[in-house]
Amino acid sequence: MQKIPHFIFATAAFWLITISCSSSKTNSSINNGLKEAYHSDFLIGAALNTGQIEERNAQSNALILSQFNAVTPENCMKAEHIHPAWDRYDFTIPDKLVAYSQKNKLKLNGHTLIWHSQLPAFARRIQRVDSFKTFFENHINTVASRYSGKIFSWDVVNEALNEDGTLRNSIFLQKLGPDYITEAFRLAEKASPNTELYYNDYNNEQPKKRAGCIELVKKVQAAGVRIDGVGIQGHWHLGKVPFKEIEESILAYHELGLKVMITELDIEVLPRNFQGADVAQRMASDPSLNPYAQGIPDSILQQQATDYENLFKLFLKHKDKITRVTFWGVDDGQSWLNGWPVPGRTNYPLLFDRQLQPKPAYHKLMGLKK
C-alpha cells in the first residue's frame, strides 16, 4: 500500500478545523436573529405557507427558526381550505402547523375564523338565514375547539369594516345582522377559553376606519364579551408609511384596554393606484407597473430600510402596548404582493430576498438593538 505523505494529513486537519469554525460561526449567527434581538420587546412573527409548514426547504426552515418566535398560517386555516363542504373539514395542514409550532416552541396565531373572503363555495350558496347561522356557529365551534389550548391567539373576525368605518356589507352582515361580530367573539371565547381573541383589519390606523374599529370593540365589550386585542395589518407602501396615524392608533386601542399587534407587515415597493389590502381589488397588467422585474436598485432597498427602521423605532417606543409584530411572509419570493393587485409582478416587500439573504432593512432592524 502506498504511503500517504504527512502534509496531506496536515492539510485535511486544517480544513476540518476551518469547516468546524465556520459552522460554529454560522450557528452562532442563526441563533442571534430578530427573535433574540427583540425578545424583551415583542414577539417577531411570520406568515407561513404550506411548503414552509411541511419543511420542504431546509434553508427556509433554518431561516424561520432563527428569526421568528411566532407564526401565522398564510392560508390553510381560512374557511375555504379548512371547511370545504358543509359536513367536511380538512385539518391536514392546520394540524401539521400546530405540530410544527409545538415542536419548535413557536406562538401560533390562528388566521382566521370569520372573513367574508376565501369562503367555501357552499357557504355562499346558503339561502336560509337559519342555515347560514348554523354554518357560522358550527364553523367557529368546530375549528376553535379543536385547537383550544394549542393556539396562542385567534384573528376571530377579519376585515369587517369599510374605509369610512362603517360595517362592510358582507354575507355575514346580510345574513346575520350587525351583532354577528359580537357573537363570533362570544362563540370563540366559549370554544377556546384560554386563547387570546383579536379583531384584525387593514387601514385601521386611518382616522375614519380607526373610529369604526373603536366603535366595534366597544360594542363587543359592552355586551360583556371578551376581546383581547386589535391587529393593525400593516400593508404599507414605500415612502408612504403613515407614522403619525399608526402612533395615534396604538394609543387609542391601548386606551380601550387592548393589546396591539402588527399582524401582516410588509412594505410594498411597486406602484399601484390605491391604498389598502382589499383582495377583491385588481389592476390591469402593464409593464410600467413592474419596473424591477430584472432586479431592484439599491437606492430603493435603502429607502425601504429607512422606512422599516423608522417603523421599528415607533414600535419600540410603544413596546409596552405592542405584543407582536408579524411579517406577511418570510422572503420576497413568497409574498402575496407578487400576485396582487397585478398578477405576475416581481415585488420586494420583506426583509429577506428570493435567495433567503438578509436585505438592508434586516440589518437596520438588527442595528437598532445593538
Query: How do residues 302-312 score in pLDDT, each as one tens digit?
Result: 999 999 999 99
Among the listed residues 74, 159, 189, 205, the single catalytic one is 159
Which residues constitute the domain of residue 79? 41-367
Judge whether 20 lies within some domain: no
- Taking CA atoms, 275 is separated from 86, 98, 173, 341, in Å, by 35, 33, 24, 11
Quick one: pLDDT band at residue 273, thresholds 50, 70, 90?
confident
Classify residue 28: in a domain, yes or no: no
Encode pLDDT of 168-202 as tens digits.
Answer: 999 999 999 999 999 999 999 999 999 999 999 99
Residue 36, in any domain of the structure: no
pLDDT value, residue 3: 41
CA distances from 183 to 197, 219, 317 (A): 13, 11, 35
Q: Give yes or no for a contact between 110 and 155, defined as CB atoms under 8 angstroms apart.
A: yes
3-state SS assignment for residue 309 = helix
3-state secondary structure of 349: coil
264 is catalytic: yes
The total number of structural domains in the chain stands at 1
Q: Is residue 48 part of a domain?
A: yes
| CB-based contacts of 214, cutoff 8 Å, min separation 6 | 252, 253, 256
pLDDT digits (tens, 9 = 90+) for 217-252: 999 999 999 999 999 999 999 999 999 999 999 999
**CB neighbours (10 Å) of residue 346?**
19
User: Looking at the domain assignment, is residue 252 inside a domain?
Assistant: yes
Please report whether residue 15 resides in a domain. no
Using one digit for the tens of pLDDT, what is the confidence trace for 300-349?
999 999 999 999 999 999 999 999 999 999 999 999 999 999 999 999 99
Active-site residue identified among 74, 189, 264, 268: 264
Give the confidence band of 31 by pLDDT, cuts at 50, 70, 90. Answer: low
Condensed to tens digits (0 to 9), the pLDDT of residues 103-141 reads 999 999 999 999 999 999 999 999 999 999 999 999 999
* 173: helix, strand or coil: helix
CATH number of the structural domain spanning residue 303? 3.20.20.80
Residue 97 within any structural domain of the chain: yes
168 within some domain:
yes
Residue range 22-39: average pLDDT?
Answer: 64
Q: How confident is the model at residue 9 (pLDDT cuts 50, 70, 90)?
A: very low
User: What pTM value is reported for the model?
Assistant: 0.91
**Has 255 been annotated as catalytic?**
no
Q: pLDDT at residue 5 above 50?
A: no
